[in-house]
Structure 1
């Protein structure tokens, strides 16, 4: 059996929210991530490519299974765009390809189609977004930590009242509902919850599956406020943002 990777060689996994696609903050985050001194892998959200899938499903009424598959492909499209925007990013469909990118001093950008298709246990459900996929990948890669980069700052709020919106509504990125015949809402959901005061019951910034998939990881969530010190923090091997509270968020998402 090969030895377990040391803390220095275990990668940091960063989920880069698709909602950043149209934001000037995207380039700043990419530049900051390049300063991280250890191996780093980016899990892309779905961004505008996933939004296109939702709009197309509403118009064409193709199946949820097809929409889920297309939404995973949307993550790959966003990842390909990121690799074109920033030197030093390399697409990686497998753990071996990610390790090869790290060996060359590059950041691996996960292309999730191959690995997710090979694992039928991953649910095609609104309850599992690219945040949970990032946590799943982090475990597969033996990561030391997971950083979720969002377009909003995280402030946990009380759970919604019974009968209200689900805690993950507004965080639908990269997955679709398994319920037969269902279609996306007319207003495409965002990869991050609305800012405080916009919408009702936006209680959690992660999906209901996240706490289960992320258990055992050191998880941080970073929004715009964390970007101010992100370069300095990442350059010294630290993680910007706020540490994720599994106990509190599990109760919110349940």
Structure 2
């Protein structure tokens, strides 16, 4: 799935719970100022309240796993656009793998549009995450990093990383059940963007 030429870039997963921050753009500027040294930055925006709405619908309706999964992914389009407006530091919304790779090679910043990226991968018969509530934007960010050929992934969360590494994060529900497996081979870091956007720490088992 990866391009043979690894990119000197970083994928940032921006947790949906952070979208409520009034100073989100300023916090992202602080984070990006640290990550700029490692190349371009591609941001995956979590579904946040939009995905939570789909969860409530799923509790009230009879959706298949696939239907609920794709409704939640389409909800991410709304949060992607929200971040593009509130935090232009993140760049434009992009989905074409070739174009994104080129932009990252030139140290640009982009917001990844996950739905069309998944659709493009399907047309290429490339692996995609399962259609399940066990897959959230955490796993989608790990998938996107590998799809783009990026080895660094930063999880921007509202909490500090747990002491027990990925296993503890999974057990505590801080990442989804599929994330640890999906992120194998990636260099993962964690930042509590709510408290300290300048403190990015390595994170693994």
Corresponding residue for 2:196?
226
Q: Determine the structure 1 residue equivalent to 2:40.
A: 39
More helix as a share of residues: 2
- Provide TM-score, normalisation by structure 1: 0.66
Query: Structure 1 residues 66 and 86 mapped into 2: Cα distance closer, same or farther (>3 Å)?
Result: same
TM-score (norm 2): 0.80
**Match of 1:83?**
84
Root mean square deviation, CA, Å = 2.9
Structure 1 gap ranges (5+): 161-165, 169-201, 231-239, 247-254
Greater mean deviation of Cα atoms: 128-137 or 114-123 = 114-123
Q: Give the 5 Å matches for 1:31-70.
A: 31-35=29-33, 36-37=36-37, 38-70=39-71
**Contact 1:157 / 1:203 at 8 angstroms: preserved in 2?**
no
Task: Give the gaps of 5 or more residues in structure 2.
Answer: none
Query: How many residues are treated as equivalent by the alignment?
Result: 193
Q: Please report how far the alpha carbon of residue 133 of structure 1 lies from its aligned counterpart in structure 2 after TM superposition.
A: 1.2
What's the offset of the Cα at 1:115? 2.4
Q: Against the structure 1 CA distance between its residues 218 and 81, is the aligned structure 2 distance closer, same or farther, given a 3 Å change threshold?
A: same
1:93, distance to aligned residue in structure 2 (A): 1.2
Which range moved further: 133-142 or 145-154?
133-142
Contact map agreement 1:167 1:208 (CA 8 A) in 2: no
Report SS of the residue matched to 1:43.
Answer: strand
Structure showing greater Rg: 1
Runs of 4+ with >6 A deviation: none
Q: Deviations over 1:16-55 (max 9, x none)?
A: 0001111235223322244324211001110111012112
Out of 6, 20, 23, the position equivalent to 1:22 is 20
Residues 22 and 204 of structure 1: is their aligned pair in 2 closer, same or farther, counting only changes over 3 Å? same
Q: Which residue matches 1:242? A: 201
Asked whether the equivalents of residues 76 and 110 of structure 1 are also in contact (C-alpha less than 8 Å), the reply is no
Shift of 1:167: 7.2
